[in-house]
Amino acid sequence: MNSVTKKWNWENSIATSKLTRLQEVTLTTLLANMPKIFFGTSFRRLLYPPIFSQFGRAIDIEPDVKFYGTANIEIGDRVKLNSGVRLNALGDKNNRISIGSGTTLERGVDLGTLENSSIVIGENTYIGLYTCITGYGNIKIGKKCLIAAHCGIYGNGHIFADSQLAIADQEVTKKGITIEDDCWLGHGVTVIDGITIARGSVIGAGAVVTRNIPPYSIAVGVPARVIAQRHTAGNNREQG
Query: In this structure, what is the dihedral angle of CA atoms 58, 61, 66, 72, given to the nearest 10 degrees?
Result: -10
The CATH number of the domain holding residue 77 is 2.160.10.10
- Give ∠ CA 176-122-125 in degrees, rounded to 5: 110
Angstrom distance (rounded) from CA 144 to CA 160: 36
Query: 158 catalytic, yes or no?
Result: yes
Active site residue: 150, 158, 187, 231, which one?
Answer: 158
For the chain (240 residues), the mean pLDDT of every run of 10, in chain order, is 46 52 82 81 89 95 94 97 96 90 98 94 98 96 98 94 93 94 98 97 98 97 96 57
Question: What predicted TM-score, i.e. pTM, was given to this entire model?
Answer: 0.85
> Domain range spanning residue 25?
3-231
Q: Answer yes or no: are the C-beta atoms of 8 and 20 closer than 8 Å.
A: no
In a domain, 53, yes or no: yes
Query: Considering its fold, how many domains does the chain have in total?
Result: 1
Q: What is the pLDDT of residue 2?
A: 56
Q: Is residue 81 part of a domain?
A: yes
In terms of phi and psi (left: phi > 0; alpha: psi -120 to 50; beta: otherwise), the region of 13 is: alpha
Instruction: Answer yes or no: is 90 within a domain.
Output: yes
Q: What is the pLDDT of residue 235?
A: 53
C-alpha to C-alpha distances, 98 to 118, 147, 192, nearest whole angstrom:
8, 17, 21
Q: Report DSSP state, residue 61.
A: E
